[in-house]
Structure 1
């Protein structure tokens, strides 16, 4: 089953994101630690992320929730936390837009400060950071280590937002003199992870990792696409108020459109293999 799962996750990773680095900067300079972004949540044993935005709410990419249901567990702050319910945006279109979902936890997390939602629409030109434990490599080779082989090693990188329109943020993997000191881009295995900026000690969530486009995965010149938090903030606030009628109007209780490589027939086996399984919580 592990070999089958490995192949499946490689297929899925093409719409995910992790961190591929500059070819001319030491990998050690990209290494990150949980304290760098304490609100980072992990969905599966092999990757996919989310962000704690309220003590009992996680925001992530819609397509990353394929195995998340009531009774599932997510990992955060070296602990496991049980899922109460899932809310997938009703306008989600794979590979296009509205790739966002919310996860409600059974119990609030009391020892982690949630990230704040960025609400201004001035993201264009801003430098933001992103963090994850998925696949890696460099801009010359593209991804050479997938999310399973990476073994949970965290990295973080920076990039400059080149497009901020409607529901999307976009930035490109530049090289040499055009690149930032710790420039990076998507690899595979960390869909749903954060693009964030730290202002006066507070982490602000600007975007949610959705997909890459415009080139080979992890290669210089490829473009990364994030769901734009300032655009979705009203939707997030309406869902997290807890008004059930409004929730049913704005969201589905599960992912209706599975990522490429997954079918309803194999989904239970895949989820059994990659789901987090704490002994007790």
Structure 2
């Protein structure tokens, strides 16, 4: 099993959404639980996330869907929910742009309030939170604990959006006086996770974890890149209408290009190892 989890660590560390924390703030202050962001979905035993945006729809990163297809399960609200179909944006360019996909569930989730899609274009300067169970460490050392070793411990952190252009949001891991009280960035292992804020008790989804650039994972100065929800809101709404002709025009039913480290030959064994199954978490 460990060898196949190793492959998933490579794949999921290429992007991120786990939490690396400030070196001068106690890690315990970053610990979270599922009530902090109830719409949070988990795709695999060792990480990768999505967000419930309608009772039967999850939005995530395109590259995180490599093992998700009809008949797969995702975890949400301590339960397992069967996947009906997957829709990957046709303009997805690995490591560049349009890293977004939608997952349709067989049955709607009735006991969780979906997140609201943020539609304004005023994201710059907004302080957002993000949450995940992947790798951790601190800004001085970078990530030192990978998503497998983290063992499902959930953390959340905050950051300030510095750039919102076209399909991308970006923010940087600052330190000392320039940092927010719970400043952090992604580690490896939870691609597809949310960047969100809460307004009047409602969770608003602003971004979807895609990748990092400009430095080593988790070290001060590294830049986080998220897919920008306000840009993709029209695409999301068109796909979730359920009109099949439109869905075929705008999305692929699966990931066309596998992430680095994966091949078609090993994919079935990897997916068997990391896939969520009823009675197994």
The normalised TM-score by structure 2 is 0.98
Contact 2:212–2:223 (Cα < 8 Å) also in 1:
yes
Contact 2:4–2:273 (Cα < 8 Å) also in 1:
no
1:51 to 1:8, Cα distance in 2 relative to 1, 3 A? closer
1:53 aligned partner: 53
Q: Which runs of 5+ in 1 are unaligned?
A: none
Contact 1:30–1:156 (Cα < 8 Å) also in 2:
yes
User: How many correspondences in the alignment?
Assistant: 281
CA deviation map 1:18-64 (0-9, x unaligned): 11000000000000010000000000000000000000000000000
Specify the SS of the correspondent of 2:63.
helix
The alpha-carbon deviation at position 3 of structure 1 amounts to 3.0
Specify the SS of the correspondent of 1:153.
coil
CA deviation map 1:57-102 (0-9, x unaligned): 0000000000000000000000000000000000000000000000
The alpha-carbon deviation at position 16 of structure 1 amounts to 2.5
Contact 1:10–1:146 (Cα < 8 Å) also in 2:
no
Contact 1:12–1:260 (Cα < 8 Å) also in 2:
no
Specify the SS of the correspondent of 1:171.
strand
Higher mean alpha-carbon deviation, 13-22 vs 136-145, is at: 13-22
1:34 aligned partner: 34
1:160 to 1:254, Cα distance in 2 relative to 1, 3 A? same
Contact 2:15–2:209 (Cα < 8 Å) also in 1:
no
CA deviation map 1:187-226 (0-9, x unaligned): 1000000000000000000000000000011000000000
Higher mean alpha-carbon deviation, 13-22 vs 118-127, is at: 13-22
2:17 aligned partner: 17
What is the Cα-based RMSD across aligned positions, in Å? 1.3
Specify the SS of the correspondent of 2:74.
strand
The alpha-carbon deviation at position 9 of structure 1 amounts to 1.6
| Residues in 2 aligned to 1:61 and 1:162: alpha-carbon distance in whole angstroms | 21
CA deviation map 1:204-259 (0-9, x unaligned): 00000000000011000000000000000000000000000000000000000111
Contact 2:20–2:142 (Cα < 8 Å) also in 1:
yes
The alpha-carbon deviation at position 7 of structure 1 amounts to 4.7
Contact 2:17–2:131 (Cα < 8 Å) also in 1:
no
1:268 aligned partner: 268
Q: Which runs of 5+ in 2 are unaligned?
A: none
2:223 aligned partner: 223
The alpha-carbon deviation at position 186 of structure 1 amounts to 1.2
The alpha-carbon deviation at position 11 of structure 1 amounts to 4.8
| Residues in 2 aligned to 1:182 and 1:280: alpha-carbon distance in whole angstroms | 32
Contact 1:62–1:89 (Cα < 8 Å) also in 2:
yes
Higher mean alpha-carbon deviation, 140-149 vs 1-10, is at: 1-10
Specify the SS of the correspondent of 1:15.
coil
Specify the SS of the correspondent of 2:4.
helix
1:164 to 1:268, Cα distance in 2 relative to 1, 3 A? same
The alpha-carbon deviation at position 280 of structure 1 amounts to 10
Contact 1:84–1:105 (Cα < 8 Å) also in 2:
yes
| Residues in 1 aligned to 2:7 and 2:234: alpha-carbon distance in whole angstroms | 38
